[in-house]
Amino acid sequence: MAEVYYEKDTTFNFNTPEAKIAKEVAIQFVNKRTGKIMKNSALKRETEVMLLRVAEIEPKQGEHLKNLVNSINLTEENGYRTFLRLSDEIFNGQICWGRIVTFFLYTALSLEHLKKSGKDTFNDKIALWLGICIARQSHWIKESGGWQAFVTTMGGPKELQETLFNGLFNVTLGLGTIAAALYIQGR
């Protein structure tokens, strides 16, 4: 069955193991970053590694992405479209685990910004949008060894240095371009 998603109701078929894990990691990540209590649900190892890697790159790349977050007026109405456009920009034929981690960092910073602004009423939707954007990369995830490869690759500091930071600066520069485009279109 093909992927299906709609701008209004964000329906998406999480019909592969990679897509299902992407959704679960996104939900757990958002819940953990926002302090939401997760009943009867242990964190997946993939989520633990994602939280660790995002926390590790946040001091190094966070300022670049905060500028992007601050320049986009993320709302419940435009959020799904914004996430899709940013994901298209980030993954533009150059998918890697570092870019996926960068997208999670963008999401974490957006959640923080919305909380400070008192507009954090749609965190569950943000988790779904993040899950959809990552699940759209399921083919690459599968071809690259699945989520187990993420845990193996991103689970160690040496691999992190080689994989994650390789080209990460270019990703954040590219996001500046999409932020400008989104700002102009939002006017």
In a domain, 4, yes or no: no
Query: d(Cα 107, Cα 113) in Å, to the nearest integer?
Result: 10
Give the whole-number percent of the chain exceeding pLDDT 70.
76
In a domain, 11, yes or no: no
Here the tokens at position 159 are 């691999």
The domain containing residue 158 runs over which residues?
17-186
pLDDT at residue 48, as a whole number: 94
- CB atoms closer than 10 angstroms to residue 75: 12
pLDDT confidence tier of residue 5, bands split at 50, 70 and 90: very low
Number of domains in the chain: 1
In a domain, 3, yes or no: no
pLDDT at residue 176, as a whole number: 55
In a domain, 112, yes or no: yes
Q: For residue 146, is pLDDT > 70?
A: yes
3-state secondary structure at position 105:
helix
Query: d(Cα 58, Cα 130) in Å, to the nearest integer?
Result: 18
Residue with tokens 């109405």: 77
pLDDT confidence tier of residue 187, bands split at 50, 70 and 90: very low
In this prediction, residues 84-90 reach a mean pLDDT of 91
pLDDT at residue 168, as a whole number: 55
Name, in order, each residue with C-beta under 8 angstroms of 30's C-beta and a sequence gap of 6 or more: 36, 107, 111, 123, 124, 126, 127, 130
pLDDT confidence tier of residue 111, bands split at 50, 70 and 90: very high
Query: d(Cα 120, Cα 75) in Å, to the nearest integer?
Result: 9
In a domain, 1, yes or no: no
Q: What is the CATH number of the domain that holds 166?
A: 1.10.437.10
In a domain, 2, yes or no: no
In a domain, 69, yes or no: yes
In a domain, 6, yes or no: no
Mean pLDDT (the chain, rounded): 83
Q: What does R_g of the chain's alpha carbons equal in angstroms?
A: 15
Here the tokens at position 154 are 């991103």
Q: For residue 161, is pLDDT > 60?
A: no
In this prediction, residues 56-76 reach a mean pLDDT of 88
